[in-house]
Amino acid sequence: MEYRVGLGEDIHRLEAGCPLILAGVHVPFEKGLLGHSDADVVFHAISDALLSAVGERDIGFFFSPSKEEFKDIDSRRILEFAIEKVKTHGCFVSNVSIVITAERPKLAGFIDEFKRSIDATLRIGEDRIGITCKTNEGLGPLGENRAIACHAVALLEE
């Protein structure tokens, strides 16, 4: 058995008038994430981790923000694309580990929903999806609630 590991990270700006979509879940909040797509930092970070693990280019390469066809795209489509790439390389996802950094809203209460939503596409079992939600202790743009970030690590088996 051979293993591959991939790391992905993403950050998007929080702005009034945007929906807040995290891991495909609509989180009620006074602000949301700004982006060319639906700005789902969680799906973007996981997708980049998967693509990185199989040596593929990142989601910005495949879903260029300069292309009108990807405007407001549902990021679940990006995740589905990354999973297809993983399969093309003869691999499957063993587990993913995710850290979401947001000062507000408090996200811990959404973890089960995030897991269900991620597993609806990954299909690896919710016990193979680890999610940590943390603040940035008031520091920097994340701490000032001007952005939300996500880091993801994926382990693949060949």
Residue of the chain from 4, 6, 8, 10 that contacts Mg ion (CB under 5 A): 10
Regarding 76 and contact with Mg ion (CB under 5 A), the answer is: no
Q: What single-letter DSSP state applies at residue 65?
A: T
CB of 36 to Mg ion, least distance (A): 8
What is the per-residue binding string for Mg ion in 35-74, x denoting contact by CB under 5 A?
---------x------------------------------
Q: In the chain, count H helices and then E strands.
A: 5, 7
Token pair in block for residue 156? 């693949």
Distance (Å, rounded) from C-alpha 32 to C-alpha 99? Answer: 18
Nearer to Mg ion by Cβ, of 70 and 92: the residue is: 70
Q: Which residues contact 109 (CB under 8 A, 6 or more apart)?
A: none
Binding positions for Mg ion, rule: CB under 5 A: 10, 44
